[in-house]
Amino acid sequence: MSKSFDITVESLTKPATSDAPEVHATASVNNGGKSFFIETFGCQMNAHDSEKVAGVLLARGYRPAASAAQADLMLYNTCSIREKAAQKVFSRLGEWRGEKSKVIGVLGCVAQQEGEDIFERAPWVRLVCGSASYRKLPELLEEVESGGWRVTGLDLDTDETFETEITRRDNPIRAYLTIIEGCDYACSYCVVPHTRGPERSRASDAILSEARRLAEAGYTEIQLLGQTVNSYRDPGPRGMSFVDLLRAVAAVNGIRRVRFTTSHPNDFTREIVQAIDETPELCEHVHLPVQSGSTRLLRAMRRTYTREEYLEKISWIKAARRPISVTSDVIVGFPGETEDEFQETVSLLDAAGYDGVFSFVYSPRPNTTAASMTGAIPEQEKLRRLAYLQEHQRQIQTARNATLVGSTQEVLVDSRHAARGQWSGRTSSNRVVNFVSQQENLLGEYALVRVERSGPNSLVGEHVTGTTGGRHGT
Ligand code: 5AD
Ligand code: SF4
């Protein structure tokens, strides 16, 4: 990739006051001034990969198109974690049947999983590239630009991470920062190790200099990303542990909030809780997916911990001095799940006292060991269990949020609902707070809000004082 483009990291990452970051791009790689559009499905890792891919494209002289219809290059960054997400991609591709003037490309997990079969199902697709091969994107794009068809990047066996010189961040308030890619676990239901490849940590030097650049560009909140973020091990000379890295990112001048997701219970240590307790910049929130409350099912899922071991880790978090909120992911209807085992998951929601749960019905995925297990649960029964569990969790959240009525929360403001005349943002504990204020522009500011009402998914309040600083710091 050429280094002589005149886009600076700052101009691309600066939090804008409007919704979309401004991009001024003239590029050194001449591709005839073509435009691109990326549609992203799935997790935060995918959202951030799309930001990095956009950076690669800008560096090659592409400009962002206002819509898919107007783009010369249309990329789908896909998700295959559940069947429905994967199906959606093929229905999107179907919309371009026979397309010749536009270059269509498929990135991400469906690309990796389906590989060259995508060309058979949708011959108008010209590029298929999995996330473990993104470092090759400039070469692959060159092939496509010189008229290539059926261009692929499907190598999984990599020890490299996707480093870009520029990243075109979409969110002007919270910046994602990858610290580890891939996954070395082998949960029996999960495609991720097959689509994102083996675990690779980035060197702490690269991470910390990116964090410093983000702070200089005006970001105050950083979210560290990884499929198993807390498995981080510094491959560089500093040899930092995950906790060392958390503390170091939190110490970067100008950074006021550091989040990290997703933690694996197996690598979750007391030191993480201690670091949160001692470091105000580390947010009061841990996302710690349990998947099931039954030890037998956890074994079948190959989750590497028991119900009791998981709950012990929760007890460390609950014993902290700061009120750390805990959220989780749960799968219902895993093959062979009995009603009693399902009820163990329901009772674990109470035992853990979760502040939020993402719950899913089990979806069999290609190449996973669970896909060939016997004891499939009928679809209707899976949906009944899901609805039951969600209602139970809704009650838990309603009660937990109600305890915050009357308290004052610091909210990083990230949006405005003009119709309702409300501002919206998140607390350190990741709760959504909607509030009214007389102030004109609060985007990117930290506002103190007195909570007046609560619901299962959000709090409602009133702005009590000015702000406690924000993008430009105080
Ligand atoms: N079926 C249903 N849910 C799944 N997840 C991962 N694989 C599957 C699957 N095959 C869920 C897990 C994971 C979250 C990102 O998606 O709960 O934590
Ligand atoms: Fe999938 Fe398990 Fe790895 Fe998470 S830890 S990405 S659920 S294999």
Angle of helix 44-59 relative to helix 137-145, nearest 10 degrees?
Answer: 60
> Are 395 and 257 contained in the same domain?
yes
Same domain, 417 and 460: yes
pLDDT tens-place string over residues 311-329:
999 999 999 999 999 999 9
Non-local (6+) Cβ contacts of 287 within 8 A are: 261, 262, 263, 326, 327, 328, 329
The confidence score (pLDDT) of residue 8 equals 27
Same domain, 246 and 146: no
Q: Of 352, 380, 402, which closes a domain?
A: 402
Q: Are residues 132 and 234 in the same domain?
A: no
Range(s) of the domain holding residue 248: 167-402
Q: SS3 of 316, please?
A: helix
CA of 361 to the centre of ligand 2 (A): 16
Per-residue pLDDT for 432 more than 60? yes
Q: Which of 109, 131, 199, 227 to mutate to test the pocket of ligand 2 (most atoms within 8 A of CB)?
A: 227
Atom 14 of ligand 1 has which residue's CA nearest to it?
329
The predicted model scores a pTM of 0.92
d(CA 180, CA 289): 18
List the CATH number of the domain containing 344: 3.80.30.20
Taking the CA of 185 as reference, the closest ligand is: 2
> Does 462 lie in the same domain as 398?
no
Predicted confidence at residue 159, as pLDDT, reads: 86
Judge if 254 and 362 occupy the same domain.
yes
Q: In whole angstroms, how far apart are CA 367 and each of 110, 115, 190, 297?
A: 13, 13, 9, 19
Residues 210 and 324 in one domain: yes
Ligand 1 pocket (Cβ < 6 Å) reads 81-82, 189-190, 289, 291, 329, 331, 360, 362-363, 365
Pocket test for ligand 1, best of 113, 263, 266, 329 (most atoms within 8 A of CB): 329
Closest-approaching ligand to the CA atom of 193: 2
Distance from residue 452's CA to the centre of ligand 1 (Å): 35
Q: What pLDDT score was predicted for residue 183? A: 97
**Closest C-alpha to 434, from 454, 406, 456, 407:** 454
The CA 187 to ligand 2 mean position distance, Å, reads 6
How many angstroms separate the alpha carbon of residue 193 from the centre of ligand 2? 7
CATH code of the domain covering residue 115 = 3.40.50.12160
Q: Are residues 121 and 182 in the same domain?
A: no
Confidence of residue 470 (pLDDT cuts 50, 70, 90): low
Q: What is residue 120's DSSP assignment?
A: H
Flag whether pLDDT at 118 surpasses 80: yes
To which H or E segment does residue 112 belong?
helix 108-114
Do 397 and 454 belong together in one domain? no
Residue 149 vs residues 36, 93, 119, 208, 372: alpha-carbon distances, Å: 18, 16, 9, 39, 35
The ligand minimizing its distance to the Cα of 195 is 2
Nearest to 304 by CA among 292, 286, 317: 292
Ligand with an atom nearest the CA of residue 287:
1
Residues with beta carbon inside 6 Å of ligand 2?
183, 185, 187, 190, 192-193, 227-228, 264
> Is residue 332 included in any domain, yes or no?
yes
288 and 325 part of one domain: yes
Confidence of residue 467 (pLDDT cuts 50, 70, 90): low
pLDDT value at 67 more than 90 = yes
Residues 255, 215 contacting (CB under 8 angstroms): yes
Q: Do 354 and 223 fall into the same domain?
A: yes
Is it the case that residue 357 has pLDDT exceeding 60? yes
Residue 397, domain member (yes or no) = yes
Locate the ligand 2 atom nearest the alpha carbon of residue 228 and give its number.
Answer: 5
For the chain, how many structural domains are there in total? 3
233 plus 171 within the same structural domain: yes
Q: Where is pLDDT greater, at 234 or 159?
A: 234
Residue 160, pLDDT score = 87
CA 191 – ligand 2 centroid, Å = 8
Residue pLDDT, tens place only, 363-376: 999 999 999 999 99
Last residue of a domain, one of 402, 419, 450: 402
Which pLDDT band, with edges at 50, 70 and 90, does 468 fall under? low
Gap from CA of 126 to ligand 1 centroid (Å)? 30
DSSP-derived letter for residue 42 is S
In the structure, what pLDDT confidence band is assigned to residue 17 with cuts at 50, 70 and 90?
very low
Q: How far apart are CA 380 and CA 385, in angstroms?
A: 9
Tokens 């001692």 belong to: 278
Is 162 a domain residue? no
- 455: domain CATH number is 2.40.50.140
User: Is the residue at 371 inside a domain?
Assistant: yes
pLDDT at 469: 65
pLDDT surpasses 60 at 275: yes
Under DSSP, the state recorded for 84 is H
**Contact indicator for 33, 192 with CB cutoff of 8 Å:** no
> Would 3 be classed as within a structural domain?
no
Please report whether residue 158 resides in a domain: no
Average of per-residue pLDDT values in the chain: 91
Of all ligands present, the nearest one to the C-alpha of 79 is 1
pLDDT of residue 29: 59
Q: Which of 79, 80, 81 to mutate to test the pocket of ligand 1 (most atoms within 8 A of CB)?
A: 81
